[in-house]
Chain A
Amino acid sequence: MTAAFRSPAVSPVAVPGPSASGPAAPVLAAKGLSARYGQVQALAPLDFEVGSGELVAVLGPNGAGKSTLLRAILGLVATGGEVSFQGTVLPRRNPAAVASRGVVLVPEGRGIFGPMTVAENLELGAWSLGGGRRSRVAQERRLSWVFELFPRLKERLGQTAGSMSGGEQQMLAIGRALMADPKILLLDEPSLGLAPRVTEEILETLGVLNRSGLPVVLVEQRAPSALKLANRAYLLSLGRLAAVLDPREVQSHDQLAQYYFA
């Protein structure tokens, strides 16, 4: 059904290698997922899967529908199709309920609570853990783990989040998402507006998180850095799925560029 809507680029020829054909038992599976803003179709129906422990990159030029894909998974936009996570169908238009199931998005532009302190931001990240005493112990444990990943956040605890540098704010956004005990982490362009060195640091941390078993979906403009980490990559173009790639088979920038402008 959905195949009819796919761009012609998605043929068996464009899908290189067997590992790119999708995980055996996906934790996150979207079937025929589409999205619209009012009357405008922003994402044509596509299938999207993330296997356990996978890091999946979503690539594509500006306006390709990368952010829309993440927003559609969370149910932040009007969608068609179905998204299931760990075998159960996720609710639509109720992002808080989706987040409580462990599907946590670090949104584009970070979405930190600027006037609040770093400590308050992190505390609110742990909202879905509950407010009881037992959850407070769990919260403390997660907090020290977040500080291990991002030591700078510990130094800035009492500072208002909005007064920190862009890189630190991104670390806070990721740290806050980790406080929610995510079962899968989705990130929308975490490198946007950051210096290359800071980007490297953040991507490296994402790699560490992923190797510890956390599935990650990474939307990135900087394709080469994302491909270095990814198990698979979905390439979007003009609101359609253009290809599913195996990063090991993407030999050169030229080859990627070919997909971009195909």
Chain B
Amino acid sequence: MDATLIGQSLVSGLGIGCVYGLIGIGFCVIYNASGIVNFAQGAFVMLGGMITHVLLVRGELPYGLAILLAVLIVALLGVAVERLVVRPLWNRNAPMFVMILATLAAQIVIERLTYLAIDDQPKTLPVFTDLPPVMLRGIAVNMQSLWIVAGSLAIVAALALFFKTTRTGKAMRACAINREAAALQGIPVHSMLALAFALSAGLGAVAGIMLTPTQYTAFDIGVPFAISGFIAAIIGGFGRPFGAFLGGLMLGVTQAGAILAFGAGMKTIVALSILLLFLFVRPSGILGPAK
């Protein structure tokens, strides 16, 4: 097999892996704040691309502004999911299983509402910068992939800084470690949960927006992305945001390799096999459990 081809696939695997990683981080941020696995995460990815498309094409807003607004809208929707779906159940002391199912229901509702409000046609977005691919030792790297990798790394670094240095970031970590003790220090744990949903939804939206120019978006792309992000989080050790990012990269590259070796049909099989492998052999993920 051609080394260039392998390099090419590695690059595209890293690109999609970054996206899985961001979605996986979203899973972890909410899980840490609440213990809930939020399966509405995929809806945020879908909405990122969709809303940007609507604002750009129907609203005729400048691209940058459309992106910014879309991320904000999706982040607010994240808060709405927390307020309307999660918190009422939480206040009623609903079992975790019920809350997880409720997020799955929210995913389906958002998906169907998007279908009714927009349509069922795939949508795409223009690339961020319309430049020819960069050649690296014979491997053509398209600019959008560079945007995805650079954007993801910047977001991961910003998140690390946020959790490490800011008061709010530390308070969110404290809630993840011991919610009751955090409340006893006066930390408003409910607001922290809402913030976690906003953050995760925003991350999902950014992932969706960066990815859409290289693929497409449609009302029903959410669930596969949610599953990939979930696998990334499992690989990383659920609840470890940076583990999830590494997990995403691993999943993306492995999938790209499998497509190259066995064809595109193997993509999902490989992803789910990795999930099973980790659940059986190393359920605590590559970095070990968070708590």
Interfacial residues, chain A to chain B (CB-CB below 8 A): 74, 76, 95-96, 99-100, 104-105, 107, 111-116, 120, 123-125, 127-128, 131, 176-177, 180
B184 touches A95 (CB 8 A): yes
B187 touches A124 (CB 8 A): yes
Whether A180 touches B177, Cβ cut-off 8 Å, given contacts A120-B170, A123-B167, A127-B171, is no
Whether A127 touches B181, Cβ cut-off 8 Å, given contacts A113-B173, A116-B170, is no
B171 contacts which chain A residues (CB < 8 A)?
Answer: 124, 127
A115 contacts which chain B residues (CB < 8 A)?
Answer: 173, 177
Partner of B180, one of A100, A104, A107, A176: A107
| B225 to A: closest C-beta gap in Å | 30
Whether A107 touches B170, Cβ cut-off 8 Å, given contacts A96-B189, A114-B177, is no
Contact with A along B30-73 (1 / 0, CB 8 A): 00000000000000000000000000000000000000000000
Q: Interface of chain B, helix or strand or loop or mixed?
A: helix
Instruction: Kindly state whether residue B215 has any CB partner on chain A within 8 Å.
Output: no
Give B165-205 interface residues, CB cut-off 8 Å to A.
167, 170-171, 173-174, 177-178, 180-189
| A187 to B: closest C-beta gap in Å | 12
Give B215-241 interface residues, CB cut-off 8 Å to A.
none
B170 touches A123 (CB 8 A): yes
Complexed CA–CA distance, A104 and B182 (Å): 11
B184 touches A124 (CB 8 A): no
Beyond A96-B186, A127-B186, 15 additional contacts (C-beta under 8 Å) are A95-B184, A96-B182, A96-B188, A99-B184, A99-B186, A107-B181, A111-B178, A111-B180, A111-B184, A113-B173, A113-B177, A124-B171, A124-B185, A131-B167, A177-B185
| B103 to A: closest C-beta gap in Å | 24
Task: Tell me which of B167, B174, B177, B184 has the highest count of chain A C-beta atoms within 10 A of its own C-beta.
Answer: B184
Nearest chain A residue, comparing its CB with the CB of B190: A96
Complexed CA–CA distance, A131 and B188 (Å): 14
A113 contacts which chain B residues (CB < 8 A)?
Answer: 173-174, 177-178, 181-182
A104 contacts which chain B residues (CB < 8 A)?
Answer: 184-185
B178 contacts which chain A residues (CB < 8 A)?
Answer: 111-113
Complexed CA–CA distance, A148 and B146 (Å): 53
Complexed CA–CA distance, A104 and B185 (Å): 7
Complexed CA–CA distance, A35 and B149 (Å): 54
| B181 to A: closest C-beta gap in Å | 3
B188 contacts which chain A residues (CB < 8 A)?
Answer: 96
Partner of B186, one of A100, A111, A116, A131: A100
A124 touches B180 (CB 8 A): no
Whether A124 touches B183, Cβ cut-off 8 Å, given contacts A96-B189, A111-B178, A113-B178, is no
* 12 residue pairs from A and B, CB less than 8 Å apart: A74-B184, A96-B187, A107-B181, A111-B180, A114-B177, A116-B173, A116-B177, A120-B170, A123-B167, A124-B174, A127-B171, A128-B185
